[in-house]
A = this chain, B = another copy of it.
Amino acid sequence: MKIVSLGTHDVRFPTSRELDGSDAMNPDPDYSAAYVVLRADNGLEGHGFTFTIGRGNEVCRAAIDALAPFVLDQPVDDLGEFARRLTHDSQIRWLGPEKGVVHLAAAALINAAWDLAAKAAGKPVWRLLADMTPEQIVDLVDWRYLSDALTPAEAIDLLEAVRPGRDERIAYLETHGYPAYTTSPGWLGYSDDKLVRLAAEAVADGYRLIKLKVGDDLDDDIRRMRLARDTVGDGVRIAVDANQRWDVGQAVEWMTALAPYQPWWIEEPTSPDDILGHAAIRQRLRPAGIRVATGEHVQNRIVFKQLLQADAVDVVQIDACRVAGVNENVAILLLAAKFGRPVCPHAGGVGLCELVQHLSIFDFVAVSGSLGDRAIEYVDHLHEHFIDPVVIRDGAYRVPAAPGFSAEMRPETLQRFAYPDGPAWAL
C-alpha cells in the first residue's frame, strides 16, 4: 500500500462563544484540528489530525505540508519505519527536536496512517495493535534515548508476561466497557448552579470520577470543590486540574488548602517541562494523600521517561496527538507499565476521545493488563462531527468495532467549519 495523495484542512469550532473548555490557562479556546487525509493506491483513505485550540492551527497545517514529501509516493506497510521517517529528517528535526509544532504535525500524519492501515486490515486500531506479536509491537517504537530506562528486550518480556488472559480481557471490555471519567461539570467558566447540576448528573450517569478546573482564584476553588464534594458524596473521586498555572511552592500551598475536600489527583500543577518541579510537588503533597498527574502537554517519550525515573507522577496522561501518534504512545504505555503507573489518557477537545479509547483498550488487553485506578477522560463535546463517534454507557467507553481509528470527520463538518472561509466563521 502506497500513499498517492495528501490533503489538509484547517477545521475550527467556535467553542469560545460558550466558554466550553475554559480553564485557568485557556480562557477562550476554539477547539480546532489540523486535519489530514491520506489516499492510498488501493483507494482507501486514512484520516488523522492534531488538536489545537485555535490560533496557530494554520502553522500546524503548514508543518504537515512540510512533512508531505516524506509521505507521498511512500509505502505505509511498516508503521514503525513510517513513524521514524517523519521524526528523523535532520533539517526538520532542528525545529524540535520531537516537540511542538513539528511533532503535532507528525502526530496527525502517523495517526492517519494508522487509520488507513486499520481500515486495510478490516480492524479497529486497538485490535490491529493487540493482534501484533510482542516483537512487532516493539518494532513500532523509536528506541532512541530510552535504553537507560527500558530496552526492547525488556519490553518484549513485559509484553510476553501479559499475553495470558488476553481474550478474557477483551471479553470483559466488550461486556463492561472501559471506565471513563468526566470533566464536563468542572469548566471554570460555568456557574455554581451549572457545576452542581452537572456533577449530580455525572454521578447519575455512572461516573466514579469527575474533574474540576482550578487555579484562577483560591476562594472560588474552595467553594466549588466543597459544592462538588457535597453533591457527589465521599464515594466518588474528584480530580482537579490547574492547567500549568502554578510555580512549585504555590502548587503545594493551593492544594493543601483544597486537601480537606479529598482531591484524587492534581493535574498539571506546573509547567509540563518541569520534571523536577513535579517530583517536588508530589513529594510535598504525599502526606495529604494527593496524587500528581500530568501528560497532555508532555512533549515526547523522553520527558515521560524522566517523569517516571524521577518518581514525579502517580498518573500518566497520554494524549493521542501531542506526541508522535500511536507509535510514540506505545513507547509511553510500555514505560508506564515498566514503572507500574496507571495511564489515564487526556481527552476532550475535538476527537481526542475517539482516538485515545483505542490506546487504553490496547493498554489493558496487551500492555498493562490492568484497569486499576485507570479511566479515560470524557467530555461531551463535538462528537456529532465524527462518522464513528465514541459511545459512552454507564460511565464507560464501549469498545469500538468499526475498522479504523474512529478519526474520520463528516464531510459536511470539514466544509462547514473550514477556517476562515467556512459558513460557521462567515459572520
Residues of chain A touching chain B, judged by Cβ–Cβ distance below 8 Å, are: 25-30, 52-56, 58-60, 62-63, 66, 89-104, 144-148, 244, 247-250, 270-277, 280, 297, 299-300, 302-303, 305-306, 309-310
Contact = CB atoms under 8 A, between A and B. Distances in A.
A63 B53 contact: no
Contacts of A56: 63, 66, 91-92, 94-95, 102
Nearest to A272: B97
Given A66-B55, A273-B300, A146 B91 contact: no
In the complex, the 4 A-B pairs of residues with the closest C-beta atoms, listed nearest first: A100-B100, A101-B101, A55-B91, A54-B91
Contacts of A99: 99-100, 273, 299
A147 B248 CA distance: 8
Given A27-B90, A53-B94, A55-B92, 9 more contacts: A26-B91, A52-B91, A56-B66, A59-B62, A97-B244, A145-B247, A148-B249, A273-B300, A276-B306
B147 A28 contact: no
Nearest to A23: B90
Contacts of A28: 90-91
Contacts of A58: 62, 66
Contact of A101 (B100, B145, B302, B310): B100
Nearest to A51: B94
Contacts of A63: 56, 59, 101
A285 B52 CA distance: 42
The listed residue with most B CB atoms (<10 A of its CB), out of A52, A97, A100, A302, is: A100
A182 to B, nearest CB: 22
Nearest to A309: B276
Contact of A147 (B90, B101, B249, B273): B249
25 contacts: A25-B93, A29-B94, A30-B91, A52-B95, A53-B90, A56-B102, A59-B59, A59-B62, A59-B66, A59-B95, A59-B101, A60-B95, A95-B100, A97-B297, A99-B273, A100-B100, A101-B102, A145-B270, A146-B247, A148-B247, A148-B248, A148-B277, A148-B280, A276-B306, A276-B310
B26 A90 contact: yes
A394 B244 CA distance: 48
Nearest to A143: B247
A274 B90 contact: no
